[in-house]
Amino acid sequence: MVTEPRKRIVPALDPNAEQVCLLDKDWADRRKESPSAFLDMARSQETSEHSTIFHFEATPGMWDRMSTFVDEERECCRFFAFEQWEEDDEVLLRITRPERAGT
């Protein structure tokens, strides 16, 4: 049985929000894992002007772990849009910030 690779697109909650993370200590303590700990697991990353793609090994549970990260991160960084997808032996995450006039 062949399964289709999954893909998830999560738009920004507020693309016009000030580009400031609202994460405070109480909010951070409620998260399953810190953003830096999760992103540090990436095999590699590609950065462009308005986005970064993180490449993770497709280990068991990585899809769900990434989904949790996206759901939590979009609450404190409401201006970010996210896209996650499976490709070969990887799960990829693109984080995009909106373009601003003059940027």
pLDDT at 100: 65
Q: Is the pLDDT of residue 34 over 90?
A: no
* pLDDT attached to residue 93: 98
Question: pLDDT tens digit string along 19-30?
Answer: 888 887 887 788
Give the mean pLDDT of 72-93. Answer: 95
Averaged pLDDT score across all residues of the chain: 90
The answer to whether the beta carbons of residues 92 and 8 sit under 8 Å apart is no
- Separation of CA 41 from chain center: 13
More confident residue, 66 or 30: 66
